[in-house]
Amino acid sequence: MLNQLTISELAAKLGQREVSSREAMQDCLDQIQRVDTTIHAFLSHDAADALAQADAADQQLASGTTHAQKPLLGIPIAIKDVLAVKNQPLNCGSKILGKFISPYDATAIEKLKAAGAIVFGRLNMDEFAMGSSTENSAFGVTRNPWDTTRIPGGSSGGSAAAVAAQECLASLGTDTGGSIRQPAALCGCVGLKPTYGRISRYGLVAFASSLDQIGPFTKDVRDTATLLEVMSGVDHRDSTSVPQPVPNYAAALNGEIRGLKLGLPREYMIGGMNPEVSAAVQAAVKQLEKLGAEIVEISLPHTDYAVATYYIVATAEASANLARFDGIRYGARVEGADPTDLYCRTRGAGFGAEVKRRIILGTYVLSSGYYDAFYLRAQKVRTLIRQDFLKAFEKVDAIVTPTTPTPAFKIGEKSDDPLQMYLSDIFTISCNLAGIPGISIPCGFTTNPKLPVGLQLLGKPFGEETILKIAHAYEQSTGWHREKAALK
Ligand code: GLN
């Protein structure tokens, strides 16, 4: 069952010519067939194309190409339905794109392919990445592999569920306010949101351009380091990508965290936390201390304003970004009496309720008379939130928090209450507003039902090496990441 392996384990076996990439790909396809009618992580996948890519990788392996040259050679990786992969469907979990097929590869995808990956499958998501449960997809819910009556988190729920259900070796998602870290936590995988500007957003359909980042879902921290290194770097097609050198992230995974200072934000000890989640996170902090880290209490005084600030900035940007889906240029069209009628009918039929809610909110906060009171003020508060972090990082090397206040909730439990849903991101949103990197790693389980709990580590801008090093040391000393969903 090669689908059960990590990237580094499969790469070792492929390198030894012990197994072939075709066998690994076939095991993933078999697993999809076995479990995905229940899990519904995949919106679509082209088995023949995936196997053809695997055969091409096997040929390269046979002719001597190594994983030192192409770190992802022959590794099956599945993609959130918001990233452009040439000649594959691109729907963003929405009906409005109709039968749209991507004419080109996103930069991150181009880099995966250049590193030899098999890029296959479209993973379910909340429509246009708006949501925390994947229930906002136009194509049905995805189920949590640990308990199929529960949500996998969102918006990259398909990406997390596919990795947790062993349907691929790793996947890509995007994170605007927590959409990688939150589902990673709820499905028991590793998920990283890099520093804003670390990975090019070219070919990522924009939700909120100043917050969006692409990142990996993997089964361990080493694989995350590998994928991050492959995808990082400046790109002339995304002017917000940053010309910061790309380190060898895996080299940072040396287990040495002695003397590192970890900040515990006072403001994150909120009431209403699930007690088992609290206990798991507290135990994780103790474990980090045992490994030699020094725990320091810190304050991030503007934390209370993060959710409100986010829902102004993100909706404002979304209302502008989604204006392009008008029935003229892309995807589906509903004809109308005149152009305005056509736009209204197309957008009325094509967008789901949450997307409409965000466009209306975003248009409102940008409208004249309200711009200063909402949008401009939110931008100022955003700066204060970023300054909170920069100040804290003068004293500590990284910050440690729970990823989510509760484990995965039941399908339908919060769908009628958008505010409750928005609150599931309280621990992840500030990181995007500040533009800093954050990772979620498994740190235990609740009992009865057994559901994964995530630990979040936040780092300095471009401080991915430090949070990966800490995450890896923790992971190796506990082994939570090795537990697999039973998938009854
Ligand atoms: N859950 C948040 C939202 O609904 C974050 C989504 C995301 O990160 N894409 O906006």
What's the chain's average pLDDT? Answer: 97
Which CATH superfamily, name and number, covers 2-249? Answer: Amidase signature (AS) domain (3.90.1300.10)
C-alpha 204/C-alpha 109 separation (Å) is: 10
Residue 167 pLDDT greater than 80, yes or no? yes
C-alpha 101/C-alpha 423 separation (Å) is: 35
Q: Residue 420 carries which side chain, given as an amino acid letter?
A: Q
C-alpha 319/C-alpha 162 separation (Å) is: 30
In testing the pocket of ligand 1, which one of 80, 83, 425 has its CB within 8 Å of the most ligand atoms? 425
303 to each of 265, 427, 461, how far by Cα in Å? 9, 9, 18
Going by the DSSP 8-state scheme, the letter that residue 178 receives in this structure is S
pLDDT in tens, 437-475: 999 999 999 999 999 999 999 999 999 999 999 999 999
Decide: 177 in ligand 1 pocket, CB within 6 A.
yes
Decide: 317 in ligand 1 pocket, CB within 6 A.
no
Structure confidence at residue 422 (pLDDT):
82
Mean pLDDT of 159-184: 98
Mean pLDDT of 122-143: 98
Phi, psi dihedrals of residue 425, rounded to the nearest 5°:
-105, 15
C-alpha 64/C-alpha 128 separation (Å) is: 41
Our answer to whether residue 21 is catalytic in this structure is: no
Closest CA to 422 of 340, 477, 469, 357: 357
Binned at pLDDT 50, 70 and 90, residue 120 comes out as very high
Residue 134 pLDDT greater than 90, yes or no? yes
Residue 477 pLDDT greater than 90, yes or no? yes
Residue by residue, what is the 3-state secondary structure of the chain?
CHHHCCHHHHHHHHHCCCCCHHHHHHHHHHHHHHHHHHHCCEEECCHHHHHHHHHHHHHHHHCCCCCCCCCCCCCEEEEECCECCCCCECCCCCCCCCCCECCCCCHHHHHHHHCCCEEEEEECCCHHHCCCCCCCCCCCCCCECCECCECCCCCCHHHHHHHHCCCCCEEEEEECCCCCHHHHHHHCCEEEECCCCCECCCCECCCCCCCCEEEEEECCHHHHHHHHHHHECCECCECCCCCCCCCCHHHHCCCCCCCCEEEEEHHHCCCCCCHHHHHHHHHHHHHHHHCCCEEEEECCCCHHHHHHHHHHHHHHHHHHHHHHCCCCCCCCCCCCCCHHHHHHHHHHHHCCHHHHHHHHHHHHHHCCCCCHHHHHHHHHHHHHHHHHHHHHCCCCCEEEEECCCCCCCECCCCCCCHHHHHHCCCCCHHHHHHCCCEEEEEEEECCCCCCEEEEEEEECCCCHHHHHHHHHHHHHHHCHHHCCCCCC
Closest CA to 299 of 239, 402, 387: 387
**Of how many residues is the chain composed?**
488
Residue 91 pLDDT greater than 70, yes or no? yes
Structure confidence at residue 272 (pLDDT):
81
Residue 488 pLDDT greater than 80, yes or no? no
Our answer to whether residue 210 is catalytic in this structure is: no
Our answer to whether residue 368 is catalytic in this structure is: no
Neighbours of 290 (CB within 10 A): 9
Structure confidence at residue 75 (pLDDT):
98
Residue with tokens 């039941």: 410
Residue 39 pLDDT greater than 70, yes or no? yes
- Annotated catalytic residue, options 8, 21, 70, 80: 80
In testing the pocket of ligand 1, which one of 126, 192, 213 has its CB within 8 Å of the most ligand atoms? 126
Distance 177 CA to ligand 1 centre (A): 5
Structure confidence at residue 121 (pLDDT):
98
Residue with tokens 């010519």: 17
Structure confidence at residue 416 (pLDDT):
84
Contact of 281 with 472, CB cutoff 8 Å: no
Decide: 43 in ligand 1 pocket, CB within 6 A.
no
Decide: 188 in ligand 1 pocket, CB within 6 A.
no
H/E segment holding residue 215: strand 213-218
Mean pLDDT of 403-422: 90
Residue with tokens 């309280």: 426
pLDDT in tens, 319-370: 999 999 999 988 999 999 999 999 999 999 999 999 999 999 999 999 999 9
Decide: 131 in ligand 1 pocket, CB within 6 A.
yes
Mean pLDDT of 222-249: 98
**Entry pTM:** 0.98
